[in-house]
Amino acid sequence: MLKKSVRFVVALSLVATTVFGANGVRLNVIDGDASGKYEQERASSLKASTGFGVSDPHENIHDAYAKRYGDPQNPDYDKDCKVNLDQLSFIAVTNDKALYPLLKAAPEVAGFAPFNQLIYKKAGENKTYVGHLDPNTMLDIVGVKDANVRKEFVAMFEPLDKWTSEKLGGSVETSSFDALPSKTMMNFEIAVDRSGEVSDFIDSFQEKFEGTFEENKYIIAGYKNFKETYEDELEMDFSEYDKFFVYSMCHFTFSYNMFNKGRPDAGAFAPCSMYMYIKKDSNIMRVGMPTLANWAAVMNIKDPAKLEWIKKIDAEMVSIMKSLGAKEI
């Protein structure tokens, strides 16, 4: 369980990039099973009250763990499988209108757009946890320094936090940590072929991207096309970019070994957002994703097996992207 105002010790040999005592995860801790109430309130009032809309929700992930790892007929069967959660859901949310000027000024904020409103309940504990990663920490991870962007991004969360407390109640607990890793982001450049339509190049790249990650046992857990959202759905000019989209990435076996085996609170980071954008008339597509090393630092993860998974996923992500023609920067 997260403890109120606890100072975490960094799990790995890390170089400090944030001040001491930075906020980690904010959680409403509610007595009983609040998952049903959360779903009712989310469906009826979240968007109207906060401006946040839901895309690609992943509910009852604990049930999927039981089916995949608890079934002897499944190739991924874990003979020691025990589902330690009564509830685990990831609700991907964005406030598209509030994000609009921020993405124009600092496209890096898409490293947490969408971000996860996490809900979980441990088996044998009569409490439900609902919350998210601190927005200042999100900005520190993606490297946004612009004071106005930071102010507006953080303010965007105020109605969401107010809604959560008003609708679900509970006490608010905030973890803290000492430092982010020296490498908070994995960043890439991909050359754009403009000999034909950019859309044709993107279609071809996305087909290879999705297929390659799926071959390596990753799940494309979500997809947000900001270019289409703004220009086609909201009729808002977004001509600064020829393309702008975000993939939500998940390695399901990693998530099972992390969230089901003692650290559901780390789900505040999941699924990982990988953004890709091409500025108007540019020959370069920029790609960025927060490293999983952030999980170890912010969540004080010390378990050697979990740290090994984190190192593996970070290295594998880079390797796969390079195989797709990306240059790490």
Mean per-residue pLDDT for 304-325? 97
Q: Give the per-residue pLDDT at 2.
A: 42
d(CA 298, CA 133): 9
Q: What is the pLDDT of residue 20?
A: 54
pTM: 0.91
**Domain locations along the chain:** 22-328
Q: Looking at residues 5-28, what average pLDDT do you find? A: 56
Mean pLDDT score, 45-53? 97
Residue 311, pLDDT > 60, answer yes
Question: Dihedral angle at the C-alpha atoms of 173, 175, 176, 182, nearest 10 degrees?
Answer: -140
Which pLDDT band, with edges at 50, 70 and 90, does 7 fall under? very low
Q: What is the mean pLDDT of residues 213-227?
A: 96
CA distances from 237 to 101, 112, 113, 242, 244 (A): 11, 22, 19, 11, 13
Of 315, 282, 309, 283, the residue nearest 295 (C-alpha): 309
Q: Across the chain, what does the average pLDDT equal?
A: 93
Q: Which of the pair, 4 or 322, is modelled with greater confidence? A: 322
Share of the chain above pLDDT 70, in %: 94
Pair 323, 215: CB distance under 8 Å: no
- In this prediction, residue 21 has a pLDDT band, given cuts at 50, 70 and 90, of confident
Q: Right CATH number for 22-328 from 2.60.40.10, 3.40.50.280, 3.30.310.70, 3.20.20.10?
A: 3.30.310.70
- Which tens digits make up the pLDDT trace of 282-302? 999 999 999 999 999 999 999
| HSE (side-chain half, CA atoms, 13 Å) at 243 | 23
The reported pLDDT for the residue numbered 15 is 36
Does 12 score more than 50 pLDDT? no
Task: Quick: pLDDT tens for 28-43.
Answer: 999 999 999 999 999 9
pLDDT tens-place string over residues 234-278: 999 999 999 999 999 999 999 999 999 999 999 999 999 999 999
Work out the pLDDT band at 3, boundaries 50, 70, 90.
very low
From the number of C-beta atoms within 10 Å of its C-beta (0-12, 13-18, 19+), residue 183 rates as middle
pLDDT band at 162 (very low <50, low <70, confident <90, very high): very high
Predicted confidence (pLDDT) at residue 1 exceeds the cutoff of 60: no
